[in-house]
Structure 1
């Protein structure tokens, strides 16, 4: 693997992401209600340089029997803050953790990252029947 030029910063491994912080609330979705949460306070770090990657997370889903408790979601996102993880992998990890937790009818996770190195990056994963 190539080496980063200049200073690099230390970071934590993906093992330190705390999916156990996520909690649910029972929710009987009789009318196929659509849920959307957004935050522009997501951050992790580049596993190459240790420099921050900052982005907007959009979570969209049709609940089955559970919704995510929002304070626990915020704590979960904070656990990414010092983790070295590629942008695409962060999207996959959030999707996998939330899909396993909620078992929704349909879910889409989108991360829109701030421009880095002159390149805009958006990653998205979707699964289920809308």
Structure 2
């Protein structure tokens, strides 16, 4: 199974004030910065209805991350752990996930709280449903 190849096409690109990893917050929810997601023209129909939501999940490709790292020292810790037990960007398949506030919807989505670096390819967007996605605490 390890020789299986998956092909993902970006649906848009992030325009963000964060140019380097050191510019970005540890997690998007710790930032009040606004970013834009520029949706590619062939995917604009997929945005229809997104304006009904106050928050969305953005899945993006951590395009500057290392892909050959399996163990890291998490921020603020001393001992190495497997990357699957961390939020580290370095990982075999560097997919970022961030819950953001949707401020404006159209060809360009204006969002608050996205931790993606400028130029990050967006691979999917999903609405946040409080009754499904919240653990209630």
User: TM class, shorter-chain normalised?
Assistant: under 0.3
**Structure with a larger share of its residues in strand:** 1
Q: What TM-score results when the alignment is normalised by the length of structure 2?
A: 0.23
Higher relative contact order (Cα pairs below 8 Å, separated by 6+ residues): 2
More helix per residue: 1
TM-score, length of structure 1 as denominator length:
0.24
